[in-house]
Each structure stands twice: as C-alpha cells, then as structure tokens.
C-alpha cells in the first residue's frame, strides 16, 4: 500500500511539472497553422507570447523572425515604413540577438535616415556574426551614410573578399574611394562594376564624376552621355554635363543641360547653383539671382538635416 501510494504521489507530481508545457505546445502549433494560412500578424502575436515565457524556444524564435520579416516586407511595399519599423523593433525586444531581425532593422533604419540607430544595430550584428558577408555589406553601407569612410572601406573590402563578383559592392567601394579623393582606385572599382554588370547607369555616372573631379571635362562629357543613354532623366548626369560645359566656358550648352537637370531633379542643389552661375555669365541677372536663391535655400535645408540627424527616441526617454 505504501509503495502504491508513493507511485500515485510521484505520478501526480510529474503531471504537475509537465502541465505548463502542453498549453505552450498547443500555442506553437496554432501559431504555425496561422502562419501557414498567411495570417502572419496573429501568428506573430502567438510566437511573441511563447518567447516571453520561454525565450529559448527555437521554433518560436524562427516563427517570430519569419513572420516579422513578412509583415515588414508587406508594410514597406505599401509605403508604411513606420509600421515596418515598429514590427522590427517589437521583434528585437523578444529576440535581441536574432541576426535576421537585426539585419532587416539595420537596413530599414538606414533607408529611413536613422543612421545612428542603424549604426548601433550594425555594430551589434558584427559582434554576433563578424564574418557574415551580408552583415559586412550592411555595416559598410551604414558607415558610408554616416560619413565614416575608413570604417566603410574596411567593411566593404572584407565583403568583397568573400563575394568578389558583386557589381554593387564594387560600385560602393568606388564611391568610398572617390570621396577620399583616391581617383585611380575609384576608377578601377567603377570599371569593375561595369565589367560585371554592363547594363547599368550609376557606375558610368560615377566614372564621369571622377573625370570631372580631375578636370578631364571631355572624358566626363562622354561618360555622362553614356549614362543618359541608359537613363535619360538622370539628374546627376544632366548636372554633370552642365558643369563640364560651364568649366569649358561653353555657357549656352551649360544652360541647356542645367535647365534640363533642374526639371528632372528640382531638389538637386548643384544643378540650381551652376545654372545660376551660368546665367550670370550669359548676363541674365534676374534668372541668375532666382537660381542662386533656390540653391542657397536647398543648401540650408541640407545643412540643417545633416546637423540634426534623425534618431529613434524611446517612449520614456527625455527629449
């Protein structure tokens, strides 16, 4: 009798210990079913509940990451960037070291010009997965947008060691070199980008910029024209042509191209600035003054934005 009583007690105790696991498993199965039906928001909510109770649940972690990714993509496709950001920040709270969530968050914050926040997330990613090529690329991109060119250069070079035939990465490395005034290295990277992916416009444009920076105006004109063959409304190439003709003192041609540039890219400050200078050379004082005033206003707006970078403020943080 005593032995039988002991086993009864033991069975009750064991049942009591395992009882909480059943609701969690049921919730997981329900979440997976909802996800399979495409109900990502409801599935995400259930995965989140599971992770609050058990942060180590691998199935729930995977489900949280995948549903958040789909919700974010859907929100971005609808132009709802704030909603996508809110979804990723919510996932980050329950999965603080999930590389998929962090990667999507860093890229989105960078696209939203939240560069300081993106930089923090990129640093966290590097700490978690220092050799992941996608993370190296994201870090290079964020550091470039922050103006930290040496760090961007190092990350992009590390990425290209792993993926040497990525045309966009060679293009990005060329832009870094160009800003550092390392013209030959920039030229080589832009040409490499073209060799890998000939059907593009941006590397041709940047090659034109490289020639323009070195006062090689005829070469710049040819490259900007190649850019326009691929993208006739490329504001940078139209402006570049205008600047090149201005430098060559061919002011009628400069006016023609710069006028087209201001129409194609009305917020591009250099186009208005050089058009103002060109009109002054053509003795069109009123038109020149108008363009230079527009250029000054755009420059002031850009300076204010760069001096006050956007950053996420936590709800309980002091302004």
Residue 310: predicted pLDDT: 52
The domains of the chain are located at: 233-303
pLDDT of the residue at 305: 72
Query: Two tokens at 300?
Result: 């002031």
Would you say domain 233-303 falls under CATH 3.30.390.50?
A: no
Q: What is the pLDDT of residue 296?
A: 96
- What confidence tens digit (pLDDT) does each residue in 205-217 have? 999 999 999 999 9
Token code pair at residue 136: 């190296």
- For the stretch 84-120, pLDDT in tens is 999 999 999 999 989 999 999 999 999 999 999 999 9
- Give the ranges where 197-268 is alpha helix by DSSP (H): 202-213, 217-230, 235-247, 251-264
Could you give the CA distance from residue 68 to residue 92 in angstroms, rounded to a whole number? 10
Distance between CA 290 and CA 309 in Å, rounded?
Answer: 29
- Residue 302, pLDDT score: 86
Q: Which residues of the chain have pLDDT under 50?
A: 1-19, 313-319
Q: Give residue 25's pLDDT.
A: 85
Query: Which residue blocks in the chain are alpha helix, DSSP H?
Result: 2-18, 21-36, 40-53, 58-77, 81-94, 99-111, 115-128, 133-145, 149-162, 167-179, 183-196, 202-213, 217-230, 235-247, 251-264, 269-281, 285-307
pLDDT of residue 23: 80
């Amino acid at each position: 009798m005593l032995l039988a009583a002991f086993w009864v007690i033991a069975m009750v105790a064991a049942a009591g210990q395992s009882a909480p696991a059943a609701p969690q498993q049921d919730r997981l199965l329900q979440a997976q079913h909802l996800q399979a039906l495409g109900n990502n928001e409801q599935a995400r909510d259930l995965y989140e509940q599971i992770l609050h109770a058990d942060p180590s649940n691998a199935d729930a972690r995977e489900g949280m990451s995948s549903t958040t990714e789909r919700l974010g993509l859907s929100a971005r496709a609808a132009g709802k960037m704030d909603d996508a950001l809110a979804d990723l920040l919510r996932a980050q709270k329950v999965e603080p070291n999930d590389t998929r969530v962090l990667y999507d968050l860093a890229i989105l914050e960078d696209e939203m010009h939240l560069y300081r926040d993106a930089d923090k997330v990129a640093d966290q990613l590097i700490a978690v997965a220092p050799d992941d090529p996608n993370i190296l690329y994201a870090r290079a991109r964020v550091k470039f947008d922050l103006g930290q060119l040496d760090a961007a250069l190092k990350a992009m070079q590390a990425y290209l060691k792993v993926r040497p035939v990525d045309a966009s990465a060679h293009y990005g490395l060329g832009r870094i070199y160009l800003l550092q005034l390392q013209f030959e290295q920039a030229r080589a990277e832009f040409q490499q980008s073209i060799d890998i992916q000939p059907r593009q416009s941006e590397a041709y444009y940047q090659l034109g910029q490289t020639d323009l920076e070195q006062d090689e105006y005829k070469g710049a004109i040819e490259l900007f024209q190649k850019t326009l063959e691929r993208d006739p409304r490329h504001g940078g190439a139209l402006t570049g042509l205008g600047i090149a003709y201005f430098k060559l003192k061919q002011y009628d041609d400069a006016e023609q191209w710069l006028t087209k540039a201001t129409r194609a890219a009305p917020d591009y400050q250099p186009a208005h600035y050089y058009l103002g200078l060109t009109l002054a050379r053509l003795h069109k004082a009123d038109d020149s003054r108008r363009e230079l005033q527009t250029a000054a206003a755009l420059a002031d707006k850009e300076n204010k934005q760069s001096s006050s970078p956007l950053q996420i403020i936590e709800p309980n943080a002091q302004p």
